[in-house]
Amino acid sequence: MTDELRFYSNSPHAKGNNSTRKIMLNVCLALLPACVTGCVFFGWKALLVIVLSAASAVASEIVFLLIMKKPFSKIMKEFDFSSLVTGLLLAMCLSAQVKWYVPVLSAIFAVIVVKMLFGGTGKNLVNPAITGRVFAFLSFGAIMYGENAYAQPFTGEILTGATSLTGLLQEGAMPNNLDLLLGNVAGCIGETCKIALIAGGLYLVIRGILDWRWPVIYIAVTGLVSVALNSFDFNYFLPSILGGGLMLGAIFMATDYTTTPDTTWGNVLYFVLLGAVTAVLRYFAKIEIVSFAILLMNLLVPLIDKCIVNRPFGYVRAKKAKEAK
């Protein structure tokens, strides 16, 4: 063996072939069906929002690293596509009618303030895409009404009234469940077509990136608590799990590795609480609130991780150990 090739390290000397980059690329692939259906439903405007959001997210990460004096070749070598995921997810939860600067500014905010300032991939406290969406919602006020309002799919007609979910929450108007599932309703680019989202989620489950239990728990708890809040009227179950951004949030956003607890029981607690918080906030606020619920629960993750830790194999309870002595 020649000296240049020689390599020393601690065990293990063999490693599996998964990497952060692969995981992120797979998430991008899983988002593809939702992007495509979004473009089909909402036309070129949706494509523009997706491209603007993704491009500005990636560009802001690279520019930030350049400002931090990291050489360009190293940035490219270590680029893990997580900012692309952030950009795509952000576009998924914006209306296709937004002005061009909304996705750009939100993506820059999401990547730089939420992720890079905390130390880059894996160091963020809250999900960047969710925070970007909340930023857009609060700063550009009218994402739902006014000049940034949702449009009807195919026709492009601007929605003047309530969306199907807010209609349900505010007036109790029952939407058509099949339309909700297929995405034939007004809404954000990526969150209307539930079939595309479920297909992406299934892909992630098959690739071993997503644990199917967590989205299922989240969606089921939200549905059941909504039913309970509406005096156990089970007609509310399907509209509340199919309406709004719940599917998108449950499959792609709430399950983000960085902002979920590390233990199985921690995750159970997190997703049950998340479901309950979503349903309760929806009931009282009467608007779509998934992003706020996830943001709120993200902040509880460090606490959950502190309280719930794995017990080592062969753990003996302290009391029992004393007796044994």
Partner 1 sequence: MIIKGKKYRYGIHVKDRKELCREKPIETMPAPEIVKISVSQHIGAPAIPVVNAGDAVVKGQLIAEASGAVSANVYSGVCGTVTGIEEIVNPMGLKQKYIVIKNDFRTDEVFLPNMESFDDKSIIERVRQAGIVGLGGAGFPTAVKLTPKNRLDTLVVNGAECEPYLNCDYRLMLEHPDEIVKGINYLAAALNVKNVVVGIEKNKPEAVRAFSERGMKVVELQKQYPMGSEKQLIYCCTGRKVPVGKMPFDVGVCVQNIKTLYAAYEAVERNKPLTEIVMTVSGDGIAEAKNLKVTIGTPFADIAAFCGGEKEGVVKYVAGGPMMGKNLVDLNQYARKTDSGLLFLTQKEACLDEPTNCINCGKCAKNCPMRLMPMYIELFTLAGDYQKAAKYGAANCIECGSCAYNCPAKRPLVQSIAFCKAKLKEKK
Report the residue number, 21 or 99, with the smaller CB distance to partner 1.
21
Q: What is the DSSP letter of 158?
A: B
Q: How far is the CB of 221 from partner 1 (least distance, A)?
A: 21
Q: How far is the CB of 11 from partner 1 (least distance, A)?
A: 5
* CA–CA–CA angle 46, 47, 50 (5° rounding): 90
Report the residue number, 99 or 306, with the smaller CB distance to partner 1.
306
Binding site for partner 1 (CB under 8 A): 1, 5-16, 18-20, 22-23, 78, 80, 82, 119-123, 257-264, 309-316
Q: How far is the CB of 293 from partner 1 (least distance, A)?
A: 20
Task: Provide CB contacts within 8 A for 322, sequence distance 6+.
Answer: none
Size of the chain in residues: 325
Q: How far is the CB of 263 from partner 1 (least distance, A)?
A: 7
Q: How far is the CB of 170 from partner 1 (least distance, A)?
A: 38
Its sign, for the CA torsion 278, 281, 287, 292, is negative
Return the H-helix or E-strand segment holding 252. Answer: none
Report the residue number, 26 or 278, with the smaller CB distance to partner 1.
26
Q: How far is the CB of 268 from partner 1 (least distance, A)?
A: 13
Q: Is 145 helix (H, G, I), strand (E, B) or coil?
A: coil
Report the residue number, 9 or 155, with the smaller CB distance to partner 1.
9
**Alpha-carbon gap, residue 192 to 243, rounded angstroms:** 8
**Alpha-carbon gap, residue 51 to 213, rounded angstroms:** 32
**Alpha-carbon gap, residue 133 to 93, rounded angstroms:** 7
Q: How far is the CB of 68 from partner 1 (least distance, A)?
A: 14
Q: Is 310 helix (H, G, I), strand (E, B) or coil?
A: coil
Q: How far is the CB of 139 from partner 1 (least distance, A)?
A: 28
Report the residue number, 80 or 288, with the smaller CB distance to partner 1.
80
Amino acid in position 140: F
Task: Provide CB contacts within 8 A for 104, sequence distance 6+.
Answer: 52, 53, 56
Lookup: tokens for 237: 């179950």
Residues 155 and 96: beta-carbon distance below 8 Å: no
Report the residue number, 235 or 310, with the smaller CB distance to partner 1.
310
Its sign, for the CA torsion 237, 204, 83, 218, is positive
Return the H-helix or E-strand segment holding 247. Answer: helix 246-248
Q: How far is the CB of 45 from partner 1 (least distance, A)?
A: 33
Lookup: tokens for 46: 């949706």
Report the residue number, 124 or 164, with the smaller CB distance to partner 1.
124
Report the residue number, 122 or 172, with the smaller CB distance to partner 1.
122
| 151, β-bridge pairs | 158
Report the residue number, 51 or 205, with the smaller CB distance to partner 1.
205
